Amino acid sequence: MSPKTLYDKIWDAHVAHEADDGTCLLYIDRHLVHEVTSPQAFEGLRMTGRKVRAPEKTIAVPDHNVPTTLDRSKGIENEESRIQVEALDKNAKEFGVHYYPVSDVRQGIVHIVGPEQGWTLPGMTVVCGDSHTATHGAFGALAHGIGTSEVEHVLATQTLIQKKSKNMKVEITGKLMPGVTAKDITLAVIGETGTAGGTGYVIEYCGEAIRDLSMEGRMTVCNMAIEGGARAGLIAPDQTTYDYVKGRPHAPKGAQWEAALTWWKTLYTDEDAVFDKVITLKGEDIQPVVTWGTSPEDVLPITGVVPHPESFKGGKVEAARRALDYMGLTAGQKLTDIQIDTVFIGSCTNGRIEDLRAAAAILKGKKIKDGMRAMIVPGSGLVRAQAEEEGLADIFKEAGFEWRLAGCSMCLAMNPDQLSEGERCAATSNRNFEGRQGYKGRTHLVSPAMAAAAAITGHLTDIREMI
Amino acid sequence: MDKFEKLSGIAAPMPLVNIDTDMIIPKVFLKSIARTGFGKNLFDEMRYNRDGTEVPEFVLNQPAYRDAQILVAGDNFGCGSSREHAPWAIADFGIKAVISTSFADIFYNNCFKNGILPIVLPQEAVDVLMKDAEKGANARMDIDLEAQTVTTSDGEVFAFEVDSFKKHCLLQGLDDIGLTMEKAAAIDTFEAAASQSRPWV
Ligand code: SF4
């Protein structure tokens, strides 16, 4: 048998039909659903009299529109947001899919809830009408975002029409330096490839620095594979993965666990398998990074300066000029001189318990800068509960952070958590696009520790000076 | 779904790279539970001032491009969020084809589900088409999906590649779900086998 990559193996295990031209029906093991990209899909089913083919493999949770303030049991004020969440309530019930409503302590960001509940397992195919579905690749699951028409297609048929992508390997060798995190790895990779560098590929992340990451860190890395343009990011499962999965509510148990484990242990890239593209970074070369512009590829080590638009090529010159104007920055300015108004810690990139621990480690016994607006939004109700149990919540509150309920919140600002015009935010989320966190809001993407550091000093800060 | 066969129309130039789906349709419009009506909010934050008046410089506000049916854009068009509201807005505005050197994967797929043809061409070709688009309403570009060509107003022809299955569906205006349901037996067989080999799923 010819050697296969991890992607090849998962793909081959899920092809339900292949046409002569290579167009495949890929069987989907888990379909995650949230309120923003699903109403039109359910409506489509209703209009055509179709059913959800596998409701037991379909999991729904509202996250984008939900309020994260402590009084959210009062309901959603914005009428359209409320209608959207109510539509999901209704659709989940009518079509009989698994559901975590706003009132459930397990509610949270769909990409945090899936793994937390053991819905995401190695070797699966996982889709969701959301580009950050790539997150689940951390388990060695083939996971990617789809559009609403495809959501409807998966609901109706439990398959997706797909052609196979190419294989790309991103290897991070050696060890990370102190203060460097999974977020810095994933941003550094995008800085290297550009936001279109992964287009047409499924990335497998490997190498010692990846192996050394916890599951939380691996999810952070895979989460942003989409920001590099890739269809999905993957990390081969290993003991770290099995330890995380074991005992979760929907993980296999007993004899099934043993059977699953036997298969999972075959999920790795064969030694002689060929990748279409390979990128290698040295772990020790990666520095704590921040973004300066309005694309995740606009990334630089925190020790750098805002670049000159003329230093780029082609269409990027104009884009960089526009970005500096939008961000209110001047070429040549030191990144550590950029003053911050707001700090947002949360999102499916960095809203897990380990991220909160990293922030708490910096914030312990400290106060945020006067006038700073700072909020921590845990990725799920269970992350929130755990952080309270570990005493992290007290550290945040004493430092001056708002301690919120779970949801997407200011990652995309569909709920009231928004930046105002010109407000500048250090955010642990994944997109610094124009208007992403609020109309004319300015976003700098950073790791949780760097976000915490900026909250204390009031400007972008090299975390290595604080540890 | 609407068929796409041939198109002769005005092309609007948008020489920006990395036009993301947040720019195409900002999230405030994602709260709708309908599929239609997004055209007036296409490129909303670039197209309108906060008070709702138009930004006159924005390309689709210029008289020459108000009826544009084609967009010529910089690299990596449609990156970011998976929101299908982006192609819905594009289609609702009346744009039926987008030309760029590259598209983000999810956006690219979403186009085909909504009767929009995304065309990938090399940089040199896109440069020529961008120039042609800048001529405004006097220049009409021709797109022929069957022949897989784009022709400039001067008659210069560029051939493009497109997946044969996607082309077929777009030419015929076929509904994916209906097509897949014809293969229900294959899905049943796969599901039965998988429930034996991977019962924990
Ligand atoms: S946290 Fe942000 S990126 Fe993640 S699912 Fe929510 S809105 Fe999308």
Query: Taking the C-alpha atoms of B182, B184, B190 and B192 in order, what is their torsion angle to the nearest 10 degrees?
Result: -160
pLDDT tens for A128-153 read 999 999 999 999 999 999 999 999 99
Q: What is the C-alpha separation between A182 and A210, in angstroms, rounded?
A: 8
Start-to-end CA distance of chain A, whole Å, equals 50
CA distance A466 to A450: 10
Of A345, A353, A298, A340, nearest in space to A320 by CA: A298
Q: How far apart are the C-alpha atoms of A250 and A410, rounded to whole Å?
A: 30
Chain-chain contact of B87 with A80 (C-beta, under 8 angstroms):
no
How high is the pLDDT of residue B138? 80
**What is d(CA A191, CA B83) in angstroms, rounded to the nearest whole number?**
24
Q: How, if at all, do strands A58-60 and B140-144 pair? A: unpaired
What integer is the mean pLDDT of B41-62?
A: 96
R_g over Cα of chain A: 21
Which residue, by CA, sits nearest to atom 6 of ligand 1? A408
Mutate to test the interface with B, among A47, A80, A166, A199 (most CBs of B within 10 A): A199
Q: Which residue of A has its CA nearest to B21?
A: A433
Pairing of strands A442-445, A424-427: parallel
Give the pLDDT score at A163.
95
Place of tokens 């909250």: A455
Residue A119, C-beta contacts closer than 8 angstroms, at least 6 positions apart: A30, A32, A59, A113, A250
DSSP summary character for residue A46: H
How many angstroms separate the CA of residue A129 from the nearest CA in chain B?
7
CA nearest A121: which of A142, A97, A145?
Answer: A142
What pLDDT, on the 0 to 100 scale, is given for residue A160? 98
Copy the structure tokens of residue B174: 């076929």
Structure tokens at B81: 């969020």
d(CA A401, CA A356): 12
> What interface predicted TM-score (ipTM) does this complex get?
0.91
Atom of ligand 1 nearest to the CA of A351: 1
Query: What are A386's two structure tokens?
Result: 């755990």
**Amino acid (1-letter code) at residue B18:** N
Q: How many CB atoms lie within 10 A of CB A397?
A: 12
The Cα B162–Cα B176 span in angstroms is 17
Whether A229 and B76 lie within 8 Å, measured CB to CB: yes
The reply to whether residue B80 touches residue A263, judged by beta carbons under 8 angstroms, is no
Q: What is the pLDDT of residues B3-46, one digit of tens each?
A: 899 999 999 999 999 999 999 999 989 999 999 999 999 999 99
Across all residues in chain B, what is the average pLDDT?
95
Residues B126-169: pLDDT tens digits?
A: 999 999 999 998 889 999 999 999 999 999 999 999 999 999 99
Report d(CA A263, CA A273) in Å as an integer.
19
Query: Which residue carries 């890395």 as its tokens?
Result: A221
Whether pLDDT at B1 is above 80: no
Query: Torsion angle, CA of A387/A391/A393/A396, rounded to 10 degrees?
Result: -130
CB A430 less than 6 A from any atom of ligand 1: yes
How does A12-22 read in b/e, with b if 16+ C-beta sit within 10 Å? ebbbbbeeeee
- How far apart are alpha carbons B12 and B15 in whole angstroms? 10
Nearby residues of A46 by Cβ (< 8 Å), 6 or more positions away? none
C-beta of A281 in contact with ligand 1 (< 6 A): no
What is the per-residue burial (b if ≥16 Cβ within 10 Å, else e) of A257-285?
Answer: beebbeebeebbbeeebebeeebebebee
- Going across the sheet that includes A373-376, the strands are A402-403, A373-376, A342-345, A424-427, A442-445
Question: Residue A314's pLDDT is what?
Answer: 82
Would you give the distance in Å from CA B53 to the centre of its chain? 26
Q: How far apart are CA A150 and CA A160, in angstroms?
A: 7
Measured distance CA(A129)–CA(A408) in Å, rounded: 15
Neighbours of A381 (CB within 10 A): 22
Write the DSSP string, A73-107.
Answer: GG---SHHHHHHHHHHHHHHHHHT-EE--TTSTT-
* Share above pLDDT 90 across residues of chain B, in percent, rounded to a whole number: 93
Q: Decide: helix, strand or coil at residue A320.
A: helix
Distances from the Cα of A447 to the Cαs of A214, A429, A453, in angstroms? 15, 9, 10
Q: Could you tell me where the beta strands, DSSP code E, fall in A329-410?
A: 342-345, 373-376, 402-403
Chain A, window 112-151: residues with a beta carbon less than 8 angstroms from a chain B beta carbon: 121, 123-124, 129-131, 144-150
Spell out the domains of chain B, with CATH numbers in brackets. Answer: 6-197 (3.20.19.10)
Nearest-by-CA chain B residue for A295: B18
Q: Which atom of ligand 1 is nearest to the CA of A347?
A: 1
User: What is the residue-wise DSSP string for chain B?
Assistant: -----EEEEEEEEE--S--BHHHHS-GGGGG-SSSS--GGGTTHHHHB-TTS-B-TTSGGGSGGGTT--EEEE-SSBTBS---THHHHHHHHHT--EEEES-B-HHHHHHHHTTT-EEEE--HHHHHHHHHHHTTGGG-EEEEETTTTEEE-TT--EEE----HHHHHHHHHT--HHHHHHTTHHHHHHHHHHHHHH-TT-
In the stretch 62-121 of chain A, residues with CB closer than 8 A to chain B read 64-65, 78, 80-81, 83-84, 87, 121
CB A179 within 8 A of CB A288: yes
Backbone angles phi and psi of A24, in degrees to 5: -115, 155
Q: Could you list the pLDDT tens digit for every one of the 467 residues in chain A?
A: 799 999 999 999 999 999 999 999 999 999 999 999 999 999 999 999 999 999 999 999 999 999 999 999 999 999 999 999 999 999 999 999 999 999 999 999 999 999 999 999 999 999 999 999 999 999 999 999 999 999 999 999 999 999 999 999 999 999 999 999 999 999 999 999 998 899 999 999 999 999 999 999 999 999 999 999 999 999 999 999 999 999 999 999 999 999 999 999 999 999 999 999 999 999 999 999 999 999 999 999 999 999 999 999 888 899 999 999 999 999 999 999 999 999 999 999 999 999 999 999 999 999 999 999 999 999 999 999 999 999 999 999 999 999 999 999 999 999 999 999 999 999 999 999 999 999 999 999 999 999 999 999 999 999 999 98
pTM: 0.95
